[in-house]
Every structure is written in structure tokens, then in C-alpha cells.
Amino acid sequence: MIYLLLSILSSSIIFVVFKLFKRFEVNTLQAIIFNYFIACSVGYFGFIEDANISEIPSKPWFYGTLILGLLFIIVFNLAAITTQRSGLSVVSVATKMSVAIPVLFGILYFNESTGILKVLGIILALIAVYLSSIKAKTGIAIKKKNLIYPILVFIGSGLIDTLIKFIESGYVNKTDVALFSSTIFSVAGTIGILVLIFQGINGKLRITGRNILGGIALGIPNFFSIYFLVMALRNKGFESSTIFTINNVAIVLVSTILGIILFKEKLITKNWIGIILAIISILMVANS
């Protein structure tokens, strides 16, 4: 359980860092790309001993990290487009409700339990995520021509969590967790560098110190969010459907609380209802 709590805390810190990007005018794309290399470095130099980089391509999980690294970049860009066209709340809902994909995968592929309490808790969790994420009284309004983007964010985010569970359970040894996590970030960072090179060729690249600092601030908790999540998934005491549900709902809950405390965010009635339902859903799923 301690790994799950640490993953939730790390992911919530990421939320705070993203909020600070806007205040300090950090270029989000550049910070994201730098963050991948920082996250990779944290894992490689902090948690890996006597690792031979030349052996990484021969690891059974290597090709999975290529797919995950690519998905990281694709989903980030889709999330950016969705934010521009439909707003931050839409991205938040699409990302967090994507938990339904790995939860269903865990139940169908790994034959995880489906007790009444657990199913009700998962349904309640999805409702809680929606209500907690909507900041406008009118709810979510998406133009039909823009609907494809949050749908792709939903699918992409769900695929990332599902692949992490699938690869972790069948191909990653306990001693390789940090190396596995670091490799994902290095792949994403390498692809990101290609994006920056393309921007440079088109004369749209301007790297500043604040963007690099933003990448450092984001990269450290980002590594731990993945590392601790993988470690939590290796805990035989909880099923993956339980881990993913609690993880996603708790991140929304903690992030909302941090938003109130640190950024003086105002919540409407449906947000408070969402928070209450989030707490209830966590208790239901954890005790199912």
C-alpha cells in the first residue's frame, strides 16, 4: 500500500508543477521533453546498479517500452489539442475516466474479482472523477468536430496503463523495475527531441532556462509516479483493477485539495459531491 500512496503523491505533485508552468510562463512542450530525460536520469543514476545499456534491447520488455514511449508523446499532444479546443476539464475527465480500460482488462484478462461492492465502487469512482473535474456549472460542452480528440485521449491514456500492467506482469523482473521505467522515459525523450529538431528547422524553437528548470521540476516526480505504480502493481495483496481505480480517483481527490490549499481554487457544489463520492468509492474498492 505504501507504493500506491507514494505513486498518488508523486502524480499529485505533477499537477502542482503543471499549474506553476502557467504562472512562470514555461513552455509546456519543451518542459515535457526535458522532463523525460530527467526522469530517465533519476532512475538510471538513483536506482540502477551495474546496468549495461547495451543489454537493454535484449530485455523481454524493451519493445513494450518503445510503444509506451511513443504513446506518451502522442497522448500528450492530443491532450494539448483537446485543451485548446475544448478546455482543461475535458482533458481531465478523459484522462482519469480512462481507468475503465485497464480495470476491464484486469477483470477480463487476469480474471480479477467482480464482487458487487467492487463494481459499485468502480462505477462510483467514475462518477466522482467526472463531478470533481468539472469546474463550470453547465458541465462539459464539446463541439462535434472536436469530439475525436478527447476520445483519443481516453483510449491512449487507458492503453498506457493497460500496457504497463501487461508488460510488468509478464516480462519485468523485480530488479528491472527502475530500468524498465527509465527506458520508457528515454524513448519518449528521444522522440521528443525529434519534435524539437523539427521546430528548430522551422524556426519555432526557443529554449530558455525556465523551460529546462520546469523539466527538472516535472521529471523527478514523474519518474516516481511510474516507478511506484509499477511497484504497487507487483503487490499480490491488491488486484490491478483495484490499484488503478484507487490510484486515479485518489489523484483527482488529492489534486483538488492541493488546488484549494495552494492556488485558492473555488469549487462548486458538484465538485464537493465528487470529492465525497471519491472517498466513498476508494473505501468500497479497497475493502472489496
* pTM of structure: 0.89
What's 107's DSSP letter?
H
Q: Is the pLDDT of residue 271 over 80?
A: yes
Cα–Cα distance for residue pair 25/209, rounded to 1 Å: 11
Q: Which stretch of 137-151, 201-215, 237-251 has the lowest confidence by average pLDDT?
A: 137-151
Work out whether the CA dihedral 207, 210, 213, 219 comes out positive or negative: negative
Q: What is the pLDDT of residues 24-82, one digit of tens each?
A: 988 888 899 999 999 999 998 888 877 778 889 999 999 999 999 999 989 988 888 88
CA distances 243 to 45, 156, 246, Å, are 28, 19, 5
Dihedral sign for Cα atoms in the order 258, 259, 262, 267: negative
- Under 8 Å between Cβ of 223 and 181: yes
Q: How many helices (H) and strands (E) does the chain have?
A: 11, 0
Residue holding cell 483510449?
A: 155
The whole-angstrom distance between residue 75's C-alpha and the CA centroid of its chain comes to 10
pLDDT higher than 90, residue 145: no
Q: Is there a contact between 282 and 242 (Cβ–Cβ < 8 Å)?
A: no
Backbone dihedral angles phi then psi of residue 85, each to the nearest 5 degrees = -95, -30
CA 143 to CA 76: how far, in whole Å? 21
What is the domain count for the chain? 1
Supply the range of the domain harboring residue 128. Answer: 2-286
- Rounded Cα distance, 81 and 122, in Å: 29
Residue 140 pLDDT grade (very low, low, confident, very high; cuts 50, 70, 90): low
pLDDT higher than 70, residue 139 = no
In this structure, which amino acid lies at residue 282?
A: I
* Average per-residue pLDDT for the chain: 89
Residue 171's Cβ-side half-sphere holds a number of Cα atoms within 13 Å equal to 17
| Listed residue (117, 101, 98) closest to 109, CA to CA | 101
